[in-house]
């Protein structure tokens, strides 16, 4: 699961063009859409949906499910792990 989280962070940094962030800067529990986390916005949410399909083959079609899945790196990794198996 740790490898998945590291890869996920790398993909997020690349997909969202967050050049000022390093993988180590993103805490697994940090709220992604909070200013206390990395401060993503609604456009970034669309990019995360694209990222999920591009790298993990997972389509996020239910907005409520996406809200829960995209809370943090941990919730994204759990969402991916459950849908991959």
Mean pLDDT of 26-46: 94
Domain-embedded: residue 41: yes
Whether residue 9 lies inside any domain: the answer is yes
Range of 12's domain? Answer: 2-18+28-84
61 inside domain: yes
In a domain, 59, yes or no: yes
Question: Into how many domains does the chain fold?
Answer: 1
Region 68-77 average pLDDT = 96
SS (H, E, C) 5-50: HHHHHHHHHHHCCCCCCCHHHCCCCCCCCCCCCCCCCHHHHHHHHH
Please compute the mean of the pLDDT values over residues 41-59 and round it to a whole number.
95
In a domain, residue 23? The reply is no
**Could you tell me the CATH number of the domain that includes residue 13?**
1.10.1200.10
- With a cut of 70, say whether residue 11 has pLDDT above it: yes
> Quick check: is 68 in a domain?
yes
């Amino acid at each position: 699961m740790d490898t998945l989280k590291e890869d996920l962070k790398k993909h997020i940094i690349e997909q969202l063009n967050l050049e000022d962030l390093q993988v180590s800067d993103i805490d697994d529990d940090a709220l992604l859409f909070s200013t206390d986390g990395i401060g993503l916005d609604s456009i970034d949410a669309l990019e995360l949906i694209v990222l999920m399909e591009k790298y993990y083959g997972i389509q996020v079609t239910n907005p409520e499910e996406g809200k829960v899945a995209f809370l943090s790196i941990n919730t994204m990794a759990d969402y991916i792990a459950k849908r991959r198996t």
